[in-house]
Amino acid sequence: MFKFVLIAGLALSAAFTANAEQNDAARIVDAATGDWDGDGGMDLALLVAPADSASDGQIGIYIYLRDSDHELLRLSLSAPNKIWGSTSAEGVFGQEPSLKAIGKSSIAIHSQNSAIGRDRWDQTLTVAYRNKQFVVAGYTYNHYDTLDPNAGGSCDYNALTGKLQKNGKDVKAEPRTLPIAQWNDDTGQAICEQ
């Protein structure tokens, strides 16, 4: 019986420790506030670095909505490992991610590599609150080669309307309603390669 109690206690202790690591304020990279759900209360969006270096710089997006009953922030979206970026204070300049509130209910999440290698890029993922969920509203991607001036390009996709501009020219595309939890960079690249 003592062994069972000891094992159960250790398991609970490990669970509480893991939860505390997930909420470590020292890993917050950037934050923005806005009224994402349009209820008049200020909500919060966070970019959070991974707990360990094994995640290869994949930063999570966490969005908290204001609880109208208690005026407290409640976690509405947890999307770990969504965007790439450097989060170290000693890291390379030009690889930092950021986010900001845009419009009434949207968040722009920016990531980049404007520092290392010949292939440089920046992208902005626009997230909006629609039908009680956070969806990808837009994706903008620009890239260039530091050695080949003809190797660059741009892509701007409005997922809600289906409007796609590739290298400044309109291209036919379909609108999509894709929850941010299902998004990854390969999805954006596939749209841009149409």
Helices (H) and strands (E) in the chain, counts: 2, 11
What is the model's pTM?
Answer: 0.81
Query: Which pLDDT does position 12 carry in this prediction?
Result: 34
65-85 exposure pattern, b = at least 16 Cβ within 10 A, e = fewer: bbeeeeeebeebbebeebbbb
Q: In what order do the strands lie in the sheet with 106-113?
A: 98-102, 106-113, 119-130, 133-145, 153-158, 163-166, 169-171
d(CA 164, CA 43): 30
22-48 pLDDT, tens digit per residue, is 558 888 999 999 999 999 999 999 999
79-135 pLDDT, tens digit per residue, is 998 888 887 766 667 788 999 999 888 999 999 888 888 889 999 999 999 999 999
2-21 pLDDT, tens digit per residue, is 333 333 333 333 333 344 34
Bridge-based pairing state of the strands 98-102 and 73-84: unpaired
